[in-house]
Every structure is written in C-alpha cells, then in structure tokens.
Amino acid sequence: MKTTVAIIGGGVSGLMLANLLHVAGIESVILERHTRAYTEGRIRAGVLEYGTVELLRKAGVSANMDAHGLPHGGFSLLHEGGKLRIDLTALTGHGVMVYGQTEITIDLMDACAARAIPLIFEAENVALHDIDSPAPFVTYTKNGTHHRLEAAFIAGCDGFHGPSRQAIPGAEASALEKLYPFGWLGILADVPPMDHELIYADHPRGFALSSMRSATRSRYYLQVGLDEKLEDWPDARIWEELSLRLHNGAAGHITTGPALEKSIVPLRSFVCQKLQHGRLFLCGDAGHIVPPTGAKGLNLAASDVTYLFEALVSQITQGDETGLKTYETRALARIWKAERFSWSMTMLTHRFPTQSAFDRRMQQAELAYLAQSQAAQKVIAENYIGLPY
C-alpha cells in the first residue's frame, strides 16, 4: 500500500491531522494498534483552547462540539482567602470550550469513515524504516498477515509508549523529565456538576478539581499519594473527600452518584527535544507530556498538528520545505511555554510531601497576589485560553 502521509496512532492528534490533510486534498493512512471501541472509550481531557476549537472547525468536524459543547468564560480558584474567579473573556476576549476528548475522538473517526480516510485498527508490531531517506515505509501485522505501507512522510502520533519516538536516533537521550510526588484520582459520574465552571481547590488535605463533560456528567479529581491503590477508594470515600476539599459557601453543592470510571494517574512533565528526523515528525504525547493541571495535553497536540499540517501542505503543494525544516523549533517553543504554565499551576495548587513552611507561605503569597492583581490574572488567563500558534 502507498500513501502520501503515514500516520501512526489513531488518537486525537492522528485523526485530526488526517482530516485536515483530507480537506487540503492530501492522502493519508492511519494505523492504530487498538480496537475502535478501546480508542473511543479512553477517558481524557475535556477543556479546549479557543485555537483547538477553531482547528476542529477548520477540519470540518465541529458540528457536535458546536451543538453540545459548553463555552466557559472563566474558572475559579478556591483557597484559604475564598474563591477567586479568573474572568477569561474579560481579560483576553476569549474563553474555552468544555467538550470531552472521547466525543472528539468519535467525531473524528466518524469523519474518517464518511471521507473514506483509511483507518486500520489492530495494526500490531508497527515498525518504521528508512525514515532518513526520501522513501520511508512502515510495516505492521493485521490478523497475522504482514503488511508494508510506503509513504512520503510519517507522522508519529502514537503516544508516549509508541514506536515512533524510539525510531529517532538519540531521542530518549534528549528528553527532559520531571516526576511529581503524587497523582490524580479521577472519578466520572452521571451527576450535574457542582458549578457551571471549573473549580481548582487549594486545600490542606491536597488539591481537588471540579470539572464536567456535560451539563449532566461530572468529572472530579483528587490529589493522592503515589502509593494509593484504587481499591482503597470506594465511591463513598471519594465523594466525602471531594466535599471536604471543595467545601466553600460560594462553590456550590456536590451531587453524588455511582462512578462510571475511576483511575489514578501519576503526574509528570516530559519533553523530547527531538521531534523530527528525516521524514518522521512527532506530534502529541509521542513528544511531550504535561501534568493535567493546566489542561494542555490535548491542546498541545492540536498545536503540533497545526504546525505539521501547514508544513506538509507547503511542501506537497508548493515544494517549500521551510515549514518541515522548522517544525521542531516552532513546536518546542510553544511546548515549553505550556509546560511552564502546567508546572506553575501544579506548584501553586498542590501540597508537596516535603513542603516547608516557607514553601507554603510562597503559595499563599502568590494566591494573595493573584486575588489583588488584574495583571497577574491576565497572565494566567492568556495561558489558560491558549497562547497563539
């Protein structure tokens, strides 16, 4: 089989790139190692920067988001001094959209089917070959049969554990990483959210987040130790802890209900400084991971895809290789700014096991400054809605 762009990974970044390329008249094939049901069922982020919203519209897959997404003009920080609302719209002129990654994935897959974009599920043993030559190719097995996919370019959208990053010489040695000494316990339930906007809580017992996927489906998170086990957190204990950490007269009331999904995820920051080699280009989690505090994971994938899409179109339609040669530089510049914001939000709102009294006073001083300074609020707001591509 031959195509112009071989896309490894059928998550949001790979699906979005394929749909954008289709709109531009460029062929692609997507290889995904999981089943469609597994890929659609993954519970991930739900806060979209305004740039991501516009990108989905550009790809022609925004109808469901526009009909059912929840526009948010702000979010709140709960702290010892009370509740501080960051008015995104007033401070920046833009807001964000709450629309689940599961729904985005389904929308993009449906668009691939309608547009006859080849999407091959259960592609196993994927391997990349000759990526530094003008004729790279990918091999894989499907139902026990060996296949070869030839392409002009390869987009590695296969996540942190995929084969694409491992195919780049020196990629692992170039990576920079920070591991945080805690994780997030998440619960998803079909109950109304406690507030119409997201609430980030700084509490002596640890961080908590109130968010939602719709007007009737809520997503909550708790900071927990890395040694915590999911079986030690029955639903009743989770709801009780959330009520403690999110308790504030202005914060609203938590409606409880049975969990649809529960998970514990460790927090980490990771950046691979080599995002391209020859005809291979990394997008999304294949090249970087951010802690979820800043809601940047999916949105960084969208900016990577934007840069790569524009570069591929320029090269394929005009013979201009400038965008491809500078893809890594452009992507990393935005990645590090998002990493900084996610790190700063994590440091501000979480309690660390080795935190000193001085460290805590610094957090308190920062929160007090935010409450008093519109300039400081604007810095958070412009990062939260997404820096320009």
Q: Which residues are known catalytic residues?
A: 72, 200, 292, 296, 384
CA–CA separation, 339 and 269 (whole Å): 7
Pick from 389, 381, 13: which is nearest to 197 by CA? 381
**Cβ-contact 94, 88 below 8 angstroms:** yes
Interaxial angle between packed helices 327-349 and 357-372, expressed in degrees from 0 to 180 and rounded to the nearest 10: 110
CA–CA separation, 158 and 209 (whole Å): 28
**Cβ-contact 366, 348 below 8 angstroms:** yes
**Cβ-contact 183, 266 below 8 angstroms:** yes
User: How many other CB atoms are there within 10 angstroms of residue 259's CB atom?
Assistant: 18
**Cβ-contact 334, 278 below 8 angstroms:** no
Name the E strands within the chain: 5-8, 28-31, 47-48, 70-72, 74-79, 82-87, 96-98, 119-120, 124-129, 137-142, 145-150, 153-156, 176-189, 199-201, 208-212, 218-224, 259-271, 276-277, 280-282, 288-289
